[in-house]
Structure 1
């Protein structure tokens, strides 16, 4: 057992390389968990698939070589059609985080271009990277938006800070919102109200992710258009704040609530439309995960992992390669 533990520790401590991924890396809207036995990814489901468009998973022993492990079982959760009045073609943009040994997997259900949407939650008290489809219990509805609302309840991301937790979410409309949640249940607190933390006044902004680092909070978002293969214009932007609730400012001091944002990564060479990003911790250090559309492979969305580096208090990643 000691030898096995040492082997696993060695795999998880693989060199901090952003490039060189192997295996099955076709993915959209990736989210990464790092249990004790390796790495697991969760991603947007396949539209119209026989599995009901459920969240897709992959496993990796080292974060480099990835293999497909299929969709979560059960198809589209039963509550979704009742709540929305229609059955979405697939589940979007899952986001996995861990709190006190339990993994929380938030997900989005909607239809393209509309904000008649909902965020749901699954939990898993014993997630294994080798079998990431096993052990999930659906907890049902977390948040809802309807036609006429000024926000869209998709693209959830949870951040824990101290004894508290928040859920960031949103796409288009008036932008990104943040709401305090119960750290144990993962649901909004009874007296909590969502507030906007980033906006482009109706222009494209989505995929929020928040990282706490050395007393500051960093909000990562995607600007512009996803989901168009090599025609995508997605790019990853960032802002910084002294509190998780903001205000978030870019390097020039422009508020993200007023369309601000400092570009972190954008299209370069075969890497088209990088976005749908999240942050996760690997060996105690923050990493960025996102997809890009591979120009050399007909625009197939591919996985990219990169260690986050720092310069004058701002995140950077090495040039894509």
Structure 2
């Protein structure tokens, strides 16, 4: 789960110390109205080849939602009937976090993380399915792991293809966002592949996580969640973005400030009842890009709910939320 790694007070202090962003919009669009099962956290959404939509999320054994029209969502149980046994190496409940859903080579690929709360002893795993629907997944075990001796945290995976190669971004706190190349045949990290550093903050506790990379035009765009999640209406999550002409970076914001030095344009922040917008993913639907995320509903006791907004691209190449 894209979880708060230190106490909320530390994260709040990080917000106070954060320098001005490259673009500080003060108003944001509300999410698209959705109905049915709206409760979700860290959503990854995809339009299936068979028609309709599926969303997987933190909660349960990778919680599932389905929709025929992207508006009305139904609870569809879980990706797995039971946690794979190896998940219990990382927490007592076999609790998975922050899935990422993609399609390639005739199969759906579901990446996810398991971790110990408050540490970077973590692992990213992968499962595959021919249909992408809950109950059809075959788990293939660990893709990448981290230990307390590492300077990164192997959670919050997101997979992207670039120049004929397969890459996975990941990371939460512990110096921020990283990237590693994957073997396209197995979906696992290539042995001894270098771990690239894409984004961090100059202020502890380095509150940036949940990366997602999207190709548009000649640039790769890195979306990430900053500050504190998982605290209901006290959450301070917000989404920032930078870009690079190379998949491995360096990523900069619209002023040229590197994301490795705290840069990033503010794309979406909490407003009105929609508190702590983050845990985002991007999916393609009928030629349009859509941003999926969760927010905490201030008018419903801070319940985490599904946010969907269309992404538009300006003439200068930068995304805006509609």
TM-score exceeds 0.5: yes
Give the Cα–Cα distance (whole angstroms) in 2 for the partners of residues 38 and 114 of structure 1: 38
Q: What's 2:210 paired with?
A: 207
* Greater relative CO, 1 or 2 (CA 8 Å, sep 6+): 2
User: Secondary structure in 2 aligned to 1:79?
Assistant: helix
Aligned counterpart in structure 2 of residue 115 of structure 1, from 116, 120, 131: 120
Q: What's 1:12 paired with?
A: none
Does the alignment pair 1:314 with 2:318? yes
Give the Cα–Cα distance (whole angstroms) in 2 for the partners of residues 189 and 147 of structure 1: 21
Q: What's 1:154 paired with?
A: 155
Does the alignment pair 1:60 with 2:64? no
Give the Cα–Cα distance (whole angstroms) in 2 for the partners of residues 43 and 114 of structure 1: 21
Contact 2:124 2:143 in 1 (8 A): yes
Aligned counterpart in structure 1 of residue 248 of structure 2, from 245, 251, 261: 245
Q: TM-score, with normalisation over the residues of structure 2?
A: 0.87
Displacement, 1:18?
A: 4.6
Displacement, 1:306?
A: 1.1
Aligned counterparts, 1:79-118, within 5 A: 79-82=86-89, 84=90, 86-88=91-93, 90-118=95-123
Question: RMSD over aligned Cα, in angstroms?
Answer: 1.4
Displacement, 1:191?
A: 4.4
Contact 1:155 1:171 in 2 (8 A): yes
User: Secondary structure in 1 aligned to 2:249?
Assistant: coil
Q: 1:290-310 CA distances to partner (integer Å, 9 max, x unpaired)?
A: 000011111000101111111
Displacement, 1:75?
A: 1.9
Give the Cα–Cα distance (whole angstroms) in 2 for the partners of residues 150 and 73 of structure 1: 31
Unpaired runs of at least 5, structure 1: 1-16, 46-52
User: Secondary structure in 1 aligned to 2:299?
Assistant: helix
Q: What's 1:22 paired with?
A: 35
Q: TM-score, with normalisation over the residues of structure 1?
A: 0.87
Q: 1:107-146 CA distances to partner (integer Å, 9 max, x unpaired)?
A: 010122211111110111232xxxx213210000011111
Contact 1:122 1:136 in 2 (8 A): yes
Aligned counterparts, 1:129-144, within 5 A: 132-144=133-145
Aligned counterparts, 1:132-281, within 5 A: 132-201=133-202, 202-281=205-284
Q: 1:191-245 CA distances to partner (integer Å, 9 max, x unpaired)?
A: 4211111111442000000000111100000000000000000000000100111
Contact 1:88 1:111 in 2 (8 A): no
Contact 1:101 1:126 in 2 (8 A): no
Q: Structure 1 residues 157-166 or 167-176, which shifts more?
A: 157-166
